[in-house]
Amino acid sequence: LPVGYHGRAGTGVVSGTPVRRPSGQAKPPDADAPTFGPSRRLDIELELGFVVGVPSRLGEAVPTSAFRDHVFGLVLVNDWSARDLQAWEYVPLGPFLGKSFATSISAWVTPLALLDDRRVPAPAQEPEPLPHLRVEGDWAFDLPLEVELNGSTIASGNARGLYWTMPQQLAHATSNGASVRTGDLMASGTISGAERGSEGSLIELTRNGAEPIRLGDGERAFLEDGDEVVLRSDVIAEVRGRIVP
Protein backbone atom coordinates (compact mmCIF):
# COMPACT_ATOMS: atom_id res chain seq x y z
CA LEU A 1 0.00 0.00 0.00
CA PRO A 2 1.16 3.60 -0.56
CA VAL A 3 2.37 4.61 2.91
CA GLY A 4 1.52 8.20 3.84
CA TYR A 5 0.44 10.61 6.57
CA HIS A 6 -1.93 13.56 6.93
CA GLY A 7 -0.68 17.12 6.99
CA ARG A 8 -2.18 20.55 7.56
CA ALA A 9 -3.21 23.62 5.54
CA GLY A 10 -2.02 26.38 7.86
CA THR A 11 1.62 26.42 6.69
CA GLY A 12 1.20 25.63 3.01
CA VAL A 13 2.77 28.58 1.19
CA VAL A 14 3.06 29.70 -2.40
CA SER A 15 6.34 29.75 -4.33
CA GLY A 16 8.49 32.75 -3.44
CA THR A 17 7.44 32.90 0.21
CA PRO A 18 10.49 33.06 2.53
CA VAL A 19 10.87 30.06 4.83
CA ARG A 20 11.85 30.82 8.41
CA ARG A 21 14.30 28.40 9.98
CA PRO A 22 12.29 26.33 12.49
CA SER A 23 13.23 25.73 16.10
CA GLY A 24 12.51 22.67 18.15
CA GLN A 25 13.92 19.86 20.22
CA ALA A 26 16.84 17.84 18.91
CA LYS A 27 19.33 15.43 20.44
CA PRO A 28 22.80 15.32 18.86
CA PRO A 29 24.40 11.86 18.83
CA ASP A 30 26.98 12.91 21.45
CA ALA A 31 24.48 14.58 23.80
CA ASP A 32 22.91 13.06 26.90
CA ALA A 33 19.65 14.97 26.57
CA PRO A 34 17.74 16.98 23.95
CA THR A 35 18.02 20.75 23.67
CA PHE A 36 15.76 23.40 22.12
CA GLY A 37 17.03 25.65 19.36
CA PRO A 38 17.14 26.42 15.62
CA SER A 39 17.40 23.42 13.30
CA ARG A 40 20.92 22.82 12.00
CA ARG A 41 19.93 20.12 9.50
CA LEU A 42 17.36 21.94 7.36
CA ASP A 43 16.49 20.06 4.18
CA ILE A 44 14.22 19.95 1.15
CA GLU A 45 12.08 17.27 -0.46
CA LEU A 46 11.34 17.39 -4.19
CA GLU A 47 7.77 16.17 -4.68
CA LEU A 48 4.92 16.21 -7.18
CA GLY A 49 1.44 16.95 -5.90
CA PHE A 50 -2.11 16.93 -7.19
CA VAL A 51 -4.93 19.30 -6.25
CA VAL A 52 -8.52 18.12 -5.83
CA GLY A 53 -11.10 19.97 -7.90
CA VAL A 54 -14.32 18.04 -7.25
CA PRO A 55 -14.95 16.83 -3.68
CA SER A 56 -15.98 13.30 -2.79
CA ARG A 57 -18.75 12.17 -0.45
CA LEU A 58 -17.99 11.20 3.13
CA GLY A 59 -18.25 7.42 3.45
CA GLU A 60 -17.64 6.73 -0.26
CA ALA A 61 -14.29 5.57 -1.58
CA VAL A 62 -12.93 7.05 -4.83
CA PRO A 63 -11.88 4.23 -7.19
CA THR A 64 -8.73 4.57 -9.28
CA SER A 65 -10.94 4.84 -12.38
CA ALA A 66 -12.50 8.06 -11.01
CA PHE A 67 -9.24 9.97 -10.55
CA ARG A 68 -9.94 12.38 -13.43
CA ASP A 69 -13.41 13.08 -12.05
CA HIS A 70 -11.96 14.60 -8.88
CA VAL A 71 -8.50 16.02 -9.66
CA PHE A 72 -7.95 19.40 -11.27
CA GLY A 73 -4.20 19.44 -11.80
CA LEU A 74 -0.60 19.12 -10.64
CA VAL A 75 1.95 21.26 -8.78
CA LEU A 76 5.53 20.91 -7.63
CA VAL A 77 5.95 20.61 -3.87
CA ASN A 78 8.88 21.36 -1.58
CA ASP A 79 8.23 19.56 1.69
CA TRP A 80 10.79 21.43 3.80
CA SER A 81 12.16 19.15 6.55
CA ALA A 82 14.16 19.73 9.71
CA ARG A 83 16.04 16.45 9.92
CA ASP A 84 17.38 16.92 13.44
CA LEU A 85 13.93 17.71 14.84
CA GLN A 86 12.45 14.91 12.79
CA ALA A 87 14.97 12.33 14.03
CA TRP A 88 14.20 13.09 17.69
CA GLU A 89 10.39 13.10 17.39
CA TYR A 90 9.98 10.34 14.78
CA VAL A 91 9.41 7.45 17.21
CA PRO A 92 6.71 6.34 17.81
CA LEU A 93 4.25 8.50 15.84
CA GLY A 94 6.25 9.91 12.95
CA PRO A 95 7.00 13.47 11.75
CA PHE A 96 5.38 16.48 13.41
CA LEU A 97 7.35 19.68 14.13
CA GLY A 98 10.10 18.59 11.76
CA LYS A 99 7.67 18.96 8.86
CA SER A 100 4.86 21.28 9.91
CA PHE A 101 6.65 24.65 9.67
CA ALA A 102 6.34 25.09 5.86
CA THR A 103 5.39 23.35 2.62
CA SER A 104 5.88 25.33 -0.60
CA ILE A 105 3.91 24.73 -3.80
CA SER A 106 3.81 26.13 -7.34
CA ALA A 107 2.15 29.50 -7.81
CA TRP A 108 -0.37 27.99 -10.22
CA VAL A 109 -1.84 24.56 -10.87
CA THR A 110 -1.19 22.88 -14.24
CA PRO A 111 -4.51 21.32 -15.35
CA LEU A 112 -4.47 17.55 -15.68
CA ALA A 113 -5.91 17.83 -19.20
CA LEU A 114 -2.72 19.58 -20.36
CA LEU A 115 -0.55 16.65 -19.27
CA ASP A 116 -2.14 13.83 -21.26
CA ASP A 117 0.84 13.69 -23.61
CA ARG A 118 3.15 13.17 -20.60
CA ARG A 119 1.38 10.06 -19.32
CA VAL A 120 3.56 6.93 -19.55
CA PRO A 121 3.45 3.40 -18.10
CA ALA A 122 4.30 3.21 -14.41
CA PRO A 123 6.97 0.80 -13.10
CA ALA A 124 5.81 -2.79 -12.61
CA GLN A 125 4.39 -3.40 -9.14
CA GLU A 126 5.35 -6.62 -7.39
CA PRO A 127 3.43 -8.04 -5.65
CA GLU A 128 0.34 -6.95 -7.54
CA PRO A 129 -1.74 -4.49 -5.50
CA LEU A 130 -5.11 -5.51 -4.11
CA PRO A 131 -8.03 -5.05 -6.53
CA HIS A 132 -9.08 -1.62 -5.24
CA LEU A 133 -5.59 -0.24 -5.98
CA ARG A 134 -5.20 -1.63 -9.48
CA VAL A 135 -5.06 0.93 -12.27
CA GLU A 136 -5.99 0.74 -15.93
CA GLY A 137 -4.07 2.90 -18.37
CA ASP A 138 -0.82 4.84 -18.09
CA TRP A 139 -0.70 7.02 -14.99
CA ALA A 140 2.95 7.80 -14.49
CA PHE A 141 4.11 11.22 -15.75
CA ASP A 142 7.20 11.84 -17.85
CA LEU A 143 8.25 15.06 -16.14
CA PRO A 144 11.93 16.06 -15.99
CA LEU A 145 12.77 17.51 -12.57
CA GLU A 146 15.60 19.69 -11.31
CA VAL A 147 16.83 20.99 -7.95
CA GLU A 148 18.76 24.26 -7.91
CA LEU A 149 20.60 25.62 -4.86
CA ASN A 150 21.92 29.20 -5.00
CA GLY A 151 21.98 29.13 -8.80
CA SER A 152 23.69 25.73 -9.15
CA THR A 153 21.86 22.62 -10.32
CA ILE A 154 22.54 19.95 -7.71
CA ALA A 155 20.13 17.19 -8.82
CA SER A 156 18.17 16.12 -11.89
CA GLY A 157 15.60 13.35 -12.22
CA ASN A 158 12.19 12.41 -13.56
CA ALA A 159 8.79 11.73 -12.00
CA ARG A 160 8.11 8.73 -14.26
CA GLY A 161 9.89 6.37 -11.85
CA LEU A 162 7.44 6.86 -8.97
CA TYR A 163 6.29 3.43 -7.79
CA TRP A 164 2.75 4.45 -6.78
CA THR A 165 0.55 6.43 -9.18
CA MET A 166 -1.66 9.34 -8.26
CA PRO A 167 -4.91 7.41 -8.87
CA GLN A 168 -3.63 4.85 -6.37
CA GLN A 169 -2.82 7.60 -3.86
CA LEU A 170 -6.34 9.01 -4.05
CA ALA A 171 -7.98 5.58 -3.96
CA HIS A 172 -5.95 4.56 -0.90
CA ALA A 173 -6.58 7.84 0.95
CA THR A 174 -10.34 7.45 0.52
CA SER A 175 -10.57 3.67 0.79
CA ASN A 176 -11.84 3.89 4.38
CA GLY A 177 -14.57 6.36 3.40
CA ALA A 178 -12.57 9.52 4.16
CA SER A 179 -13.64 12.36 1.89
CA VAL A 180 -11.61 14.96 -0.02
CA ARG A 181 -12.51 18.59 -0.53
CA THR A 182 -11.86 21.11 -3.29
CA GLY A 183 -8.33 22.45 -2.84
CA ASP A 184 -6.99 19.42 -0.98
CA LEU A 185 -3.37 18.68 -1.86
CA MET A 186 -1.76 15.25 -1.95
CA ALA A 187 1.99 14.95 -2.54
CA SER A 188 4.08 12.07 -3.81
CA GLY A 189 6.84 11.94 -1.23
CA THR A 190 10.46 12.58 -2.17
CA ILE A 191 11.24 11.81 -5.83
CA SER A 192 14.69 10.22 -6.02
CA GLY A 193 16.11 8.14 -8.85
CA ALA A 194 18.50 5.21 -8.70
CA GLU A 195 21.38 7.17 -10.25
CA ARG A 196 23.79 9.36 -8.28
CA GLY A 197 22.72 12.97 -8.65
CA SER A 198 19.01 12.22 -9.01
CA GLU A 199 18.21 12.37 -5.30
CA GLY A 200 15.41 14.71 -4.27
CA SER A 201 16.70 15.67 -0.82
CA LEU A 202 19.96 16.86 0.71
CA ILE A 203 20.06 14.05 3.25
CA GLU A 204 20.26 11.62 0.30
CA LEU A 205 22.48 13.77 -1.93
CA THR A 206 25.07 14.30 0.83
CA ARG A 207 24.80 10.82 2.33
CA ASN A 208 23.39 12.23 5.58
CA GLY A 209 25.86 15.11 5.52
CA ALA A 210 28.98 12.96 5.09
CA GLU A 211 29.61 14.14 1.51
CA PRO A 212 28.79 17.88 1.24
CA ILE A 213 27.82 19.43 -2.10
CA ARG A 214 30.35 21.82 -3.65
CA LEU A 215 28.91 25.20 -4.65
CA GLY A 216 30.42 28.40 -5.93
CA ASP A 217 30.34 29.91 -2.43
CA GLY A 218 31.51 26.83 -0.53
CA GLU A 219 30.05 23.52 0.57
CA ARG A 220 26.62 22.55 1.82
CA ALA A 221 25.49 19.51 3.75
CA PHE A 222 22.22 21.15 4.81
CA LEU A 223 20.68 24.57 4.20
CA GLU A 224 22.17 27.78 5.61
CA ASP A 225 20.38 31.09 6.19
CA GLY A 226 20.11 32.98 2.89
CA ASP A 227 20.16 29.85 0.74
CA GLU A 228 17.58 29.79 -2.07
CA VAL A 229 16.18 26.54 -3.44
CA VAL A 230 14.30 26.27 -6.74
CA LEU A 231 12.48 23.12 -7.87
CA ARG A 232 11.74 23.01 -11.59
CA SER A 233 10.06 20.96 -14.30
CA ASP A 234 9.55 21.81 -17.95
CA VAL A 235 5.74 22.08 -17.84
CA ILE A 236 4.93 22.48 -14.12
CA ALA A 237 5.40 25.86 -12.45
CA GLU A 238 8.56 26.18 -10.37
CA VAL A 239 8.76 26.31 -6.57
CA ARG A 240 11.15 28.84 -5.07
CA GLY A 241 12.00 29.52 -1.42
CA ARG A 242 14.74 31.30 0.53
CA ILE A 243 15.74 30.41 4.10
CA VAL A 244 15.58 33.25 6.62
CA PRO A 245 16.66 33.13 10.30
Total domains, the chain? 1
Domain that holds residue 74: 12-244
Beta strand 46-52 pairing with 71-78: antiparallel
Residue 3 lies in a domain: no
Judged against a pLDDT cut of 80, whether residue 6 lies above it is answered with no
Residue 155 lies in a domain: yes
Higher-pLDDT residue of 5, 130: 130
Are 173 and 133 spatial neighbours (Cβ–Cβ below 8 Å)? no
| b (16+ CB within 10 A) / e for 82-109 | bbbbbbbbeeeeebebbbbbbbbbbeeb
Residue 182 lies in a domain: yes
Name the percent of the chain lying above pLDDT 70: 100
Residue 60 lies in a domain: yes
Residue 7 lies in a domain: no
Give me the CATH number covering residue 129. 3.90.850.10
Which of 19, 12, 20 lies closest to 230, judged by CA?
Answer: 19
Written as one string, the DSSP assignment of the chain is --------STTEEETT--EEPPEEEE--TT-SS-EEEE-SSEE--EEEEEEE-S---TT----GGGHHHHEEEEEEEE--EEHHHHHHH-TTT--STTTTT-EEE-SSPEEGGGGGGGEEPPPP-SSPPPGGG---S--EE--EEEEEETTEEEEEEEGGG-SS-HHHHHHHHHTTS----TT-EEE------SSTT--SSHHHHTTTTTSPEEETTEEESS--TT-EEEEEESSS--EEEEEE-
By mean pLDDT, which of 3-12, 111-120, 162-171 is the weakest?
Answer: 3-12
Residue 71 lies in a domain: yes
User: What would the pLDDT profile of 17-54 be if each residue is shown by its tens digit?
Assistant: 999 999 999 998 899 999 999 999 999 999 999 999 99
Amino acid identity at 175: S
pTM for the predicted model, two decimal places = 0.96
Q: How confident is the model at residue 7 (pLDDT cuts 50, 70, 90)?
A: confident
Judged against a pLDDT cut of 90, whether residue 200 lies above it is answered with yes
